[in-house]
Amino acid sequence: MLKGLRRLNRYENRIFKIAKDGGKFVRLSQIGFSRKTKDNFRFPIYCLEIGAKSAIKKNPVGIVAGVHGLETIGVRVALDFLEFLVSDKHKDFFPEVFKGNVGIVCLPMINPGGIAKTSRSNPAGIDLMRNSGIEAVNAPFFFGGHKISPKLPYYRGNHLEPESRIVNRFVNKYFFSNKTAIMPLIDIHSGFGTVDHVWWPFAFSHEACADENIYKKMALHLKKNNLHKEYEYGPQSETYTTHGDLWDKFYLEYRNLIEIRKSKSRFLPWTLEIGTWSDIPDYPKKLSHRRGIFNPAKENKQAVIKNYRSFLRDFVRLSCVKPSYWLK
């Protein structure tokens, strides 16, 4: 069997176990299927709800991972966080979830075909983070997204892929129907660089997004009391611009809704880009395998993964602060 398939299977079992261990606090559903592979096989895509149903409705926060099939550290960080959160031993880790103050909705593995095939793109060779159709201003050639060939990385495709449509359905169901809450979402990636970036929109333009002030305030809030200050916060375009970022699309769509509804709710997508180069001097051997550059060395993977638990908890907690605080 393919190594990637075994890995995918392990992650799926962990998703099922989270649903089991969480009891009445967790609901698992299959939200759709991946793009078909050449042999006509489609992989199921799962969605987890964690917390009381009323909290999911009133105060949802999103966690998304596994958009790029090589960046498996993101999937592991998301699963580790949820496992820790629902386990009986750690009920004091995040009591707000069990008191019904906040609900988490999670797509832990949006590109299972990419994970199984050990590829960045989906089974049709399309890079889901270049797939939204949004045109960037001065995106770097090739890396910023292109339409040359699906055989090359960063291929944009010509329409929304099944995986992208699932993210669309997910944000519509849980976030776009909400007219009152401040709703952050974090999409976990990994890759180049030695520091962790926490980005807000836009990826397509250097212009500031309409919620730049709230984003800045949230970044300060996360860094308060000397916590989470090792992360670099800012708009993604400060690092690089790309075509077709899905979060640009959904962020702009929600902004339109706010204008029409005159509501004070906000949908605030973020991207966590885990810098996986910092351990290369200590573990140079990791570069000898394909996923090495996108993931920590196996020797210190577990320690690295645990580091994100408190960051993700405090990120979800942002939505427990009164909306008026963020808006003033």
Which residues of this chain interact with Zn ion, rule CB under 5 A?
68, 71, 189
Q: Which C-beta is closer to Zn ion: that of 187 or that of 211?
A: 187
Q: Which C-beta is closer to Zn ion: that of 35 or that of 189?
A: 189
Torsion sign over Cα 284, 288, 292, 298: negative
Look up residue 155 and give its DSSP letter. B
Torsion sign over Cα 312, 162, 48, 111: negative
Q: Which C-beta is closer to Zn ion: that of 71 or that of 161?
A: 71
Q: Residue 248 contacts by C-beta under 8 Å, 6 or more apart in sequence?
A: 132, 134, 201, 202, 203, 204
Query: By beta-carbon distance, which residue lies closest to Zn ion?
Result: 189
Q: Which C-beta is closer to Zn ion: that of 71 or that of 279?
A: 71
Q: Which C-beta is closer to Zn ion: that of 60 or that of 125?
A: 125
Q: Which C-beta is closer to Zn ion: that of 189 or that of 243?
A: 189
Q: How far is the CB of 128 from Zn ion (least distance, A)?
A: 9
Q: How far is the CB of 236 from Zn ion (least distance, A)?
A: 11
Please say whether the beta carbons of 25 and 61 come within 8 A.
Answer: no
Token couple for 285: 């051997």
Q: How far is the CB of 67 from Zn ion (least distance, A)?
A: 6
Q: How far is the CB of 294 from Zn ion (least distance, A)?
A: 8
Dist CA 166 CA 168 (whole Å)? 5
Alpha helices in 3-58 (DSSP H): 3-22, 53-58
Please say whether the beta carbons of 73 and 190 come within 8 A.
Answer: yes
209-212: Cβ within 8 A, 24+ apart: 209/235, 209/251, 210/255, 211/266, 211/268
Q: How far is the CB of 64 from Zn ion (least distance, A)?
A: 11
Q: Which C-beta is closer to Zn ion: that of 68 or that of 317?
A: 68
Q: How far is the CB of 191 from Zn ion (least distance, A)?
A: 6
Q: How far is the CB of 68 from Zn ion (least distance, A)?
A: 4
CA 150 to centroid of chain Cα atoms: 23
Q: Residue 304 contacts by C-beta under 8 Å, 6 or more apart in sequence?
A: 73, 279, 296
The structure tokens 């908890």 sit at 313
Q: How far is the CB of 3 from Zn ion (least distance, A)?
A: 20
Q: What are phi and psi of 45, to 5 degrees?
A: -120, 130
Q: Which C-beta is closer to Zn ion: that of 275 or that of 323?
A: 275
